[in-house]
Amino acid sequence: MEKQKAPVQKNEMLTLTFEDLTHEGDGVGKLNGYPIFVPYALPDEQAKVKIIKVKKNFAIGKLIEVEHASPNRVEPPCNVYYQCGGCQLQHMSYTMQIDMKRTQVTNSLKKIGHIDNVPVHPTIGMDDPWRYRNKVQIPVAAKNGELITGFYRKRSHDIIEDMDRCIINSEVNDRMVEAVRSIADRLGIPAYDEKSHRGVLRHIMLRTGEMTNETMIVIVTRTNELPNKKALIQELKDTYPNVKSIMQNINSQRTNVILGKETKLLWGDAYIHDKIGDLTFAISAKSFYQVNPPQTKKLYDKALEYAQLTGKETVIDAYCGIGTISLSLAQQAKKVYGVEIVPEAIADAKENAKRNHIDNAEFFVGQAEKVMPWWTAQGLQPDVIVVDPPRKGCDEALLEAMLAMKPERIVYVSCNPSTLARDLRILEDGGYETKQVQPVDMFPQTNHVECVVELVRKLSN
């Protein structure tokens, strides 16, 4: 059989009409059925494209000039948008972004989970989809004898030098990045250099409580030693009253992972506070905390609605972090058990239960997939299980443990539609029915989407 040849060649220029979007938000144009993926192109557009990569079944192109623009094309407000890898959808109207996310979820459920008759509601979006992030982790480097901070250029480790703000970051965090950078620069604290694995300052991490305006600064260093530490602390705490916690995290490894094992308190408390609804939370440096506070409230309210609690239920919250969902559930349930792998987060969760006078929630450190079977062996029979796993989804052992526990309902909170769809298939095959899916836009301007899913046990099961 004659080998099929791709209809385009590398470096070829052509005009394409776009008809669709990939999951990542790239435009898809076709030449006799052969797809060409082009970042920043939108459906219904016609554009001049340069082919940069050719494969047997697809090619990748670069957008050279838009000849007919979609009404959904908008001018990206960030001046480094096309260099930075952080956002992918700033060129797309917000309406289109949230429509795209709903489609992304619907398609994953269909293609990966073979689930195609379940309502996927319109994505819950933000009124003002900017300046929402409460946390930033920004790399530091040296340039012409000065400290610079900025995100990496796409697919590289070169810092974008002319990045003086990030408009999905909170204003406070933007200001505090610059404050830490300029003070550290003046005090001569050397930047870490990836190539030689020398120097000190690797990253500046900040988290600010949306409702409390309390800021935690985490100085990530290669070395245990932090030159001019005293002066740095003094100036930060004296100049910025919102700073409540200054931590040092030591990461001595050659790695892309930002935080190292050891975190030391330099000044203040080892945590900051924030509020979600009527609950107050302490959050320490290593604990997970949702990055978009107003949307978090909407996400948790949905999870609570899908749990349908009456006050009599025993509930498990797996992957519970600092207990944010657990404590919301506890207000409406008989008893909640939370499990989470990060010990610092469980310490926060226990403290948070006390702080909010909630005495029907218990928290355990461990791998959810190991703790759940152990709970089953102890005779624990939950009425509702809530899971909120990381991007890789639930461990198979955890899904099996859930099925063995036979709860009436499962509420699945997910930040990755692909692993969600995979896991829903297993739960459906195990006797559960997916009732409804609610996408929530936790990450405007990016191609990420969060979902809450309601599952109920089938009667025959």
From residue 12, give the alpha-carbon distance in Å to each of 8, 15, 52, 212.
Answer: 7, 10, 8, 55
Q: CA 318 to CA 393: how far, in whole Å?
A: 12
In the bound complex, what is the minimum distance in angstroms from residue 7's beta carbon to ligand SAH? 44
Is 340 annotated to bind a ligand? Reply is: yes
Q: List the beta bridge partners of residue 65.
A: 48
Give the strand pairing for 361-365 and 384-387.
unpaired
Q: CA 197 to CA 139: how far, in whole Å?
A: 14
CA atoms 414, 418, 419, 422: torsion sign:
positive
Q: Please name the residues in contact with 197: beta carbons below 8 A apart, sequence gap of 6 or more.
A: 222, 254
In the bound complex, what is the minimum distance in angstroms from residue 415's beta carbon to ligand SAH? 8
In the bound complex, what is the minimum distance in angstroms from residue 187's beta carbon to ligand SAH? 34
**By CB neighbour count within 10 A (0-12 exposed, 13-18 middle, 19+ buried), where does 354 fall?**
exposed
Q: List the beta bridge partners of residue 243.
A: 215
Nearer to ligand SAH, 326 or 447 (CB): 326
Q: Which residues are catalytic?
A: 415
Q: CA 13 to CA 11: how far, in whole Å?
A: 6
Nearer to ligand SAH, 92 or 387 (CB): 387
In the bound complex, what is the minimum distance in angstroms from residue 294's beta carbon to ligand SAH? 14
In the bound complex, what is the minimum distance in angstroms from residue 366's beta carbon to ligand SAH? 7
Nearer to ligand SAH, 85 or 390 (CB): 390
Q: What are the structure tokens assigned to 453, written together?
A: 């899913």
In the bound complex, what is the minimum distance in angstroms from residue 37's beta carbon to ligand SAH? 30
Q: Residue 49 is which amino acid?
A: V
Nearer to ligand SAH, 340 or 441 (CB): 340
- Residue in 178, 83, 165, 88 with CA at minimum distance from that of residue 131: 165
The strand order across the sheet containing 409-414 reads 361-365, 335-340, 314-318, 384-387, 409-414, 450-457, 432-440
Q: What are the structure tokens assigned to 165, written together?
A: 């703000």
Nearer to ligand SAH, 179 or 333 (CB): 333
C-beta nearest to ligand SAH: residue? 321
- In the complex, which residues of this chain contact ligand SAH (CB under 6 A)? 288-290, 319-321, 324-325, 339-342, 345, 367-369, 388-390
In the bound complex, what is the minimum distance in angstroms from residue 175's beta carbon to ligand SAH? 26
Nearer to ligand SAH, 251 or 290 (CB): 290
Strand ranges (E), 156-307: 201-208, 215-221, 243-250, 262-268, 271-276, 279-284
Nearer to ligand SAH, 81 or 132 (CB): 132
Nearer to ligand SAH, 289 or 363 (CB): 289
**How many beta carbons lie within 10 A of that of residue 350, not counting itself?**
16
Size of the chain, expressed as the number of residues it contains: 461
Q: Residue 195 is which amino acid?
A: K
Q: How many CA atoms lie within 13 A of 141 on its CB side?
A: 16
In the bound complex, what is the minimum distance in angstroms from residue 392's beta carbon to ligand SAH? 8
Cα 457 to chain center, whole Å? 29
Virtual torsion, Cα 79, 82, 86, 90, nearest 10 deg: 70
Annotated binding site: 290, 319, 340, 388
Annotated binding site for S-adenosyl-L-methionine: 290, 319, 340, 388
